Amino acid sequence: MRRAAVSLALLLCLLWTGAQGEDGGGTGKKEGEFDIQGAHDQSSSQTQMRTDILAELKELRDIAIEHRIKIQRLEQDNTATQVRLTAGESKNAVLENRMSSSEKEGEELKREDAVSEARLNFSEKEVQELQRENAEARMSSSENEVEEVKTVNADLLARVTASENKSTVFEARMSSSEKEVKELQRQNADRPQVAFSAGLTDSGAVGPFTTDTTLKYIKVFTNIGQAYSPTTGIFTAPVRGVYYFRFNIWETHSAYTGVELFHNYKRKIKIHGYNDGTGYITTSNAVVLQLEKGDVVYILLPANVSIYDDSYNRIIFSGFLLFPQ
């Protein structure tokens, strides 16, 4: 309401200034210009406010000029109507001399003119009401736009804050993951690495021997930690832990064959097979053992039994540390 009152006061000032300019009075310097020039002497903190006021004054001046044009048009319409009314009265005066009924027609014309004038006054009031409603609507629309912009800004700020919070959470999780990776890397670096895999021989048949014989797998493919000795054929546990071992046999000539896996000179597993003369024998097995540091594991070929290996690496003895204890 305060802005509407200020706008109305500024409009009246502009209308009065325009009237003074048309009359040619004064020194040629309008009052509105004097006020604006005086406002330039105020502090620099009010510069933006003066710019806004000047913009609103320009807009109100344009509206006032438009209203004046409309009023001039209405005055022209009123003048034309007045001319027509005068002509009607002249005709009525002439007709009074010719017929008595002309008086009734004159009264009717007067009544119609009164109605027209009333309608014209009503139209002017409607125009003023529409102008007032338009001004209020524009002001309300501007306020709504400002509120909408504030709402959008608040929403954007909330979204930015949420994104920053998510980024903080992600950074914390990433930092935690990096610490876990470093810890795992440290544990893996401290954890002993033990694994071996070796083939038996390229010479073909091994055995039969008159006594039980420890097999020496001399074709070493992998020997991480150097826990397996191809010279003795014995695996020695470097640390206490759980180990996995796998071994197999292959034979084409002997009717019966087999081998045994020993742990500290105690047999744990035996595999064997029988050849009926129609092909070859092959079989395998695996075991998980809990070993103390220094325990030994090896493969024993029983007496009077033979196996066969060549460059195809048909017989393999493998093992590795699952986890230390």
pLDDT digits (tens, 9 = 90+) for 64-100: 888 889 888 888 887 887 888 788 788 867 777 787 7
Q: Tell whether the model's pLDDT for residue 126 goes beyond 60.
A: yes
**Which stretches of 99-200 are assigned E, i.e. beta strand?**
195-199
Q: Is the dihedral of CA 311, 227, 298, 209 positive or negative?
A: positive
Q: Which two tokens stand for residue 265?
A: 């000179």
Which pairing describes strands 296-301 and 256-263: parallel, antiparallel, or unpaired?
Answer: antiparallel
pLDDT at residue 322, as a whole number: 97
The reported pTM is 0.46
In terms of Cα–Cα distance, which of 275, 248, 251, 244 is closest to 259? 248
- The one-letter amino acid code at 109 reads L
Query: For residue range 183-241, what is the model confidence (pLDDT) as tens digits?
Result: 877 776 778 999 999 999 999 999 899 999 999 999 999 999 999 999 999 999 999 99
Domain boundaries, the chain: 2-149, 195-324
pLDDT tens, residue by residue, 271-319: 998 877 777 889 999 999 999 999 999 999 999 999 999 999 999 999 9
According to the model, what pLDDT value does residue 6 have?
Answer: 55
Phi and psi, residue 268, nearest 5°: -110, -40
Residue that is written with structure tokens 């014209």 in the block = 120
Percent of residues, the chain, with pLDDT higher than 90: 36
Task: Give residue 177's pLDDT.
Answer: 82
- Does 195-324 carry CATH code 2.60.120.40? yes
